[in-house]
């Protein structure tokens, strides 16, 4: 059977294409490596999720090789299964969007013009985007309505222009400690922002509202309130979804993709033919697939005539921190407010999305604040050592756990700033290690630009000031170049010049007439916010371009 469109991957980059094209009447097939879990499958089983990696492959079957660049320019090679280092983040219908916390911030207009506005940075491959914020704004708005975003728009110095005055859904119920945060920010002269969330506070869009379990990050949503690609889009469209289908090669002639080759769940080889192919397998795996699909027309890998596939890999720079609030010093009402269960702490800061240093304009970032997740296993695991960092057990451990779980609470923060693209952070394929499908695994070459750490440090210090002003104790933070596997982009950046980019401004490969890439791979820079909203918005934009093409297809 000839399909109009074949999509590889069903997450935030693939699902909008399937949703829009199938609703427009086209024959759409989605090839998804993982299984199709439903709301009833998403329990809060901490052992299954946190200790047994229910939603990601076993490293002994599928892994990556990680080459970590050292200060002297050498690399230390790590085989993922040998060091238990995983870059998987959700193999299932809807991809990792099922497991996100749903912090949804738009990129700012200047994020699209990083080089023009902030200038060159030595050692970084910073470029402007080939599209503008204005091009993407209607699609940010579309995501708000179709995927469902809740909250209240707050006017502030770095607020981005909007075509609508507010989000379409009311804010989620919040813990009263947010008022402490607002007061502290007021005292410090900071602008407290209510964090937009891709979580419905009530039944809407044929989905149920939030149950306030406080199990969002790393867990699937049992009500459908979270705006995952599965719940928000794929369950509402007529695309054919083939699960447990690992695409190992795309076949092409000199100008077109002709077939997708995949193994089904019995490891039988299968093929799909389509007029247009969209790859949205998450950035690392998308580059790996194109590199593994080399042929006589593309001896270096598909769309890789100029060696750009896999280059300029991005993660999210920044860091994390926290402070603890204890009963001591709080009145009875404050103690009750602190221990309110389930309710969200939706607050962010963007006062330093841009700042000046030594007369130079610097791109800053976003700080999101949240209570530590309700998952009891990681919370208890933190209590195994005393103040002298000595392992404790028995009654001493029991009393420490009881006190810190029942009469104290930790407020955490996450810093998001640009991970600058460099020549040292990229994807290739390995000559030795293969996965269970006998395909070369991806190699992740890691290096973070020192500038990223400088920005992250400044933002983390500002976040710590807020915690101190609120009265928190035991405040600390950590800023590092350790890459978060759930925030990855780049590798197939879009641009106008085929020699320095893989895709054109519509995310079509320069070298192939019918290949598009719509996961985070297209991003030449990442902005200083989580990527998911921008990936969703761009995929809806590209869907419109593909529909226009198919209407005139010959």
pLDDT at 217: 86
Q: How buried is residue 450: exposed, middle or buried, by Cβ count under 10 Å (0-12/13-18/19+)?
A: exposed
- β-strands 515-517, 473-479 pairing: unpaired
pLDDT in tens, 56-101: 999 999 999 999 999 899 999 999 999 999 999 889 999 999 999 9
Q: What share of the chain is helix, strand, coil (3-state, %, to 5)?
A: 25, 25, 45
Confidence of residue 485 (pLDDT cuts 50, 70, 90): confident
Instruction: Pick the closest to residue 528 from 231, 106, 214, 159 (CA basis).
Output: 106
Confidence of residue 481 (pLDDT cuts 50, 70, 90): confident
Query: Taken in order 83, 483, 102, 135, is the CA torsion positive or negative?
Result: negative
Q: Does residue 448 have a pLDDT over 80?
A: yes
Residues in the chain: 554
The DSSP secondary-structure symbol of 111 reads G
Q: How buried is residue 488: exposed, middle or buried, by Cβ count under 10 Å (0-12/13-18/19+)?
A: buried
Vertex 506: Cα angle to 505 and 512 (nearest 5):
100
pLDDT at 1: 81
Q: Does residue 298 have a pLDDT over 60?
A: yes
- Of these ranges, 42-56, 176-190, 391-405, the one predicted with the greatest mean pLDDT is 176-190
Six token digits for residue 222:
């049992």
471 CB-near residues (< 8 Å, 6+ apart): 180, 325, 329
260 bridge partner residues:
250, 272
- Of these ranges, 42-56, 193-207, 365-379, the one predicted with the greatest mean pLDDT is 193-207
CA gap 109, 533 in Å, rounded: 15
pLDDT in tens, 533-544: 999 999 999 999
Mean pLDDT over each residue of the chain, to the nearest integer: 95
End-to-end CA distance of the chain: 18
pLDDT at 250: 98
What share of the chain has pLDDT > 70, as a percent?
99
Q: Does residue 49 have a pLDDT over 80?
A: no
Asked if 325 and 409 touch (Cβ cutoff 8 Å), the reply is yes
Lowest mean pLDDT among 43-47, 77-81, 327-331, 419-423: 43-47
pLDDT at 47: 79
What share of the chain has pLDDT > 90, as a percent?
88
pLDDT at 553: 66
pLDDT in tens, 328-360: 989 999 999 999 989 999 999 999 999 999 889
Domains of the chain, with CATH numbers?
A: 2-551 (3.50.50.60)
Confidence of residue 51 (pLDDT cuts 50, 70, 90): low
Confidence of residue 484 (pLDDT cuts 50, 70, 90): confident
Q: Does residue 127 have a pLDDT over 90?
A: yes
Owner of token pair 């290739």? 428
For the residues 528-551, what does the mean pLDDT come to?
96
Q: Assign 3-class secondary structure to 29-61.
A: EEECCCECCCHHHCCCCHHHHHHCCCCCCCCCC
Owner of token pair 């902030």? 118
CA gap 287, 281 in Å, rounded: 9
Owner of token pair 């700033």? 417
Helices of type H across 198-307: 229-232, 283-292
Instruction: Pick the closest to residue 28 from 38, 37, 18, 36 (CA basis).
Output: 18
């Amino acid at each position: 059977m000839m399909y109009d469109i074949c999509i590889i991957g069903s997450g935030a980059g693939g699902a909008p294409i399937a949703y829009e094209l199938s609703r427009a009447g086209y024959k759409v097939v989605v090839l998804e490596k993982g299984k199709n879990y439903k709301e009833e499958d998403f329990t809060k089983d901490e052992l299954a999720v946190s200790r047994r990696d229910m939603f990601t492959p076993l490293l002994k079957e599928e892994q990556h090789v990680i080459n970590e660049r050292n200060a002297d320019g050498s690399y230390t090679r790590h085989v993922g299964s040998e060091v238990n280092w995983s870059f998987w983040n959700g193999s299932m219908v809807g991809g990792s969007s099922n497991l996100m916390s749903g912090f949804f911030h738009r990129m700012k207009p200047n994020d699209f013009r990083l080089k023009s506005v902030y200038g060159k940075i030595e050692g970084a491959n910073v470029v402007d985007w080939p599209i503008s914020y204005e091009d993407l704004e209607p699609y940010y708005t579309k995501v708000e309505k179709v995927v469902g975003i809740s909250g209240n728009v707050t006017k502030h110095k770095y607020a981005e222009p909007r075509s609508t005055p507010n989000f379409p859904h009311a804010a989620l119920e919040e813990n009263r400690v947010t008022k402490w945060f607002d007061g502290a920010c007021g005292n410090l002269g900071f602008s407290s922002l209510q964090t937009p969330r891709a979580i419905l506070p009530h039944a809407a869009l044929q989905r149920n509202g939030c149950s306030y379990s406080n199990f969002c990050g790393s867990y699937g949503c049992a009500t459908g309130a979270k705006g995952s690609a599965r719940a928000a889009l794929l369950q509402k469209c007529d695309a054919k979804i083939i699960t447990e289908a690992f695409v190992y090669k795309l076949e092409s002639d000199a100008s077109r993709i002709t077939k997708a080759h995949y193994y089904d769940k019995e490891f039988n080889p299968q093929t799909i033919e389509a007029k247009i192919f969209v790859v949205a397998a998450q950035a690392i795996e998308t580059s790996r697939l194109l590199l593994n699909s080399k042929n006589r027309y593309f001896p270096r890998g598909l769309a890789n005539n100029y060696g750009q596939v896999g280059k300029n890999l991005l993660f999210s720079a920044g860091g994390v921190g926290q402070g603890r609030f204890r009963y001591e010093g709080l009145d009875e009402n404050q103690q009750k407010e602190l221990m309110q269960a389930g309710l969200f702490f939706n607050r962010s800061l963007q006062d330093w999305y841009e700042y000046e240093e030594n007369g130079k304009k610097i791109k800053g970032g976003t700080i999101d604040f949240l209570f530590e997740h309700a998952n009891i296993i990681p919370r208890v695991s933190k209590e195994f050592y005393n103040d002298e960092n000595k392992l404790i057990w028995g009654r001493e451990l029991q009393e420490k756990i009881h006190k810190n779980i029942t009469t104290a609470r930790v407020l955490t923060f996450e810093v998001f700033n640009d991970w600058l693209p460099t020549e040292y952070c990229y994807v290739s394929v390995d000559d030795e290690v293969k996965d269970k499908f006998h395909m070369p695994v991806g190699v992740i070459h890691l290096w973070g630009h020192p500038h990223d750490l400088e920005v992250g440090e400044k933002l983390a210090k500002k976040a710590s000031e807020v915690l101190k002003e609120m009265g928190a104790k035991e405040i600390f933070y950590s800023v590092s170049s350790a890459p978060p596997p759930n925030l990855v982009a780049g590798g197939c950046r879009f641009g106008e010049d085929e020699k320095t980019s893989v895709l054109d401004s519509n995310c079509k490969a320069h070298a192939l007439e019918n290949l598009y890439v719509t996961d985070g791979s297209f991003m030449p820079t990442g902005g200083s916010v989580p990527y998911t909203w921008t990936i969703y918005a761009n995929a809806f934009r590209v869907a419109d371009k593909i529909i226009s093409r198919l209407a005139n297809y010959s």
